[in-house]
Amino acid sequence: MDFEKLTQVMRKLALDAGDKIMDIYNADDFDVKTKSDDSPVTAADEAADALISAGLRAEFPDVLLVTEEQSESHKELASTFLIVDPLDGTKEFINRRGDFTVNIALVENGVPTRGVVYAPAKDRMFYTLADGSTVEEAAPFDRDVVGTLTPIKVSSPDNAALMVVASKSHRDAATDAYIGKYAVKDMKSAGSSLKFCLVATGEADLYPRVGRTMEWDTAAGHAVLAGAGGAVVRFDTHEPLVYGKEGYANPFFIAYAPGVDLKEA
């Protein structure tokens, strides 16, 4: 894999998909459909998926591509593959809350190693460079000219005063009970894979997810966090979260900055 080329392609496709999404987001109205798993889908999901899929298949035809919106792609398994959630945080999009992202990632031998997370309504974009390290690019964004890049790194957490981020749309009693095991200084709520990015930048120390997710929801954020020195582990065993699982469903997990004294489930 040419990682320099991959970085350029993922960045450009994320920006192009973001433009498509924002055109629909800023319209007076848009249709919302329901998929077979009862999750919502919009024209923005579908347009972004078509654009990203075409771009990745043109540039990397020999690499398996898995995307949320193409159920046929969920039936194939490989140790190395590209994985896409063209619009993560559809509920945030529908409710016009802005916390939605474009997620594109490369998984190698079950580990997300490269990725981009772009939040077009928030003007924030995070991605891994060819060497695997993570940067945040400053807005405004130009498809053909890379803007100012700032290397990002996880916090050095204070276990007596942790910064925690949790889901905006999927917060529940089980999540609150687990967070209650820690000494928390401040809590933030965020949608989509932005939660991984807040840990990656040091804006949060800990993100526990006690709820259903799929690999396309997490792979890009996982790669961004890993490139900033963070980690993602299973909630039950604290073993590393791996990818390429049958059905692409995740167990509960914890994303965190090393130094956090992880509590048992």
pLDDT-based confidence at residue 256 (cuts at 50, 70, 90): very high
Strands 111-119, 124-128: pairing is antiparallel
Q: What is the pLDDT of residue 101?
A: 96
Which part of the chain has CATH 3.30.540.10? 3-151
Confidence of residue 95 (pLDDT cuts 50, 70, 90): confident
Task: Tell me the DSSP string of 170-221.
Answer: S--HHHHHHHTTS-EEEEEEE-TTHHHHHHHTTS-SEEEE-S-EEHHHHHHH
The yes/no answer on whether domain 162-256 falls in CATH 3.40.190.80 is yes
CB-based burial, 156-191: b 16+ in 10 Å, e otherwise:
ebeeeebbbbbbbbeeeeebeebbeebeeeeeeebb
**89 among annotated binding-site residues:** yes
Read off the DSSP letter of residue 243.
-
11-27 tens-digit pLDDT:
999 999 999 999 999 98
Q: Which long-range contacts (CB under 8 A, 24 or more apart) does 72-78 make?
A: 74/247, 74/248, 77/244, 77/246, 78/244
pLDDT tens string 188-242: 988 889 999 999 999 999 999 998 999 999 999 999 999 999 999 999 999 999 9
Q: Please state the pTM of the whole predicted model.
A: 0.94
Going by pLDDT thresholds of 50, 70 and 90, the confidence category of residue 169 is low
**87 is annotated as contributing to ligand binding:** yes
Per the annotation, does 68 bind a ligand?
Answer: yes
Rounded to 5 degrees, φ, ψ at 125 are -140, 130
Q: What is the pLDDT of residue 97?
A: 86
**CATH number for the domain formed by residue range(s) 3-151:** 3.30.540.10
Closest CA to 215 of 84, 114, 101: 84
Phi then psi for residue 261, to 5 deg, are -80, 95
pLDDT band at 37 (very low <50, low <70, confident <90, very high): low
Q: In which residue ranges of the chain is CATH 3.40.190.80 found?
A: 162-256
pLDDT at 191: 82
